[in-house]
Amino acid sequence: YQAGLAKFAQLPTVSADGCAVRLVANISAPSDADNVLQNGGEGIGLFRTEFLYMGRRQLPTEDEQFAAYKNVLERMKGKPVVIRTLDIGGDKQLPYLNLPKEANPFLGFRAIRLCLKRPDLFRTQLRALLRASTCGNLKITFPMIAALQELRQAKQLLLEEKENLVKAGIAVADKIEVGMMIEVPSSAVMADVFAKEIDFFSIGTNDLIQYTLAADRMNKQVAYLYEPFHPAVLRLLKTVIDAAHKEGKRAAMCGEMAGMEAAIPVLLGMGLDEFSMNASAVLPARKLISQLSKKEIGQSMDQMLQMETAEQVKQFISKHFPIKL
Ligand code: PEP
Ligand code: MG
Ligand 1 site, CB within 6 A: 46, 48, 87, 183, 204-207, 254-255
Q: What is d(CA 142, CA 187) in angstroms, rounded to the nearest whole number?
A: 12
Dihedral sign computed on CA atoms, order 45, 202, 70, 62: negative
Q: Which residues pair with 179 in a beta bridge?
A: 141, 200
Closest ligand 1 atom, CA of 143?
6
Look up the pTM and report it.
0.97
Virtual torsion, Cα 186, 187, 192, 197, nearest 10 deg: 140
Q: What is the pLDDT of residues 69-124, one digit of tens each?
A: 999 999 999 999 999 999 998 878 899 999 999 999 999 999 999 999 999 999 99
CA of 301 to the centre of ligand 2 (A): 26
Q: What is the pLDDT of residues 248-294, one digit of tens each?
A: 999 999 999 999 999 999 999 999 999 999 999 999 999 999 999 99
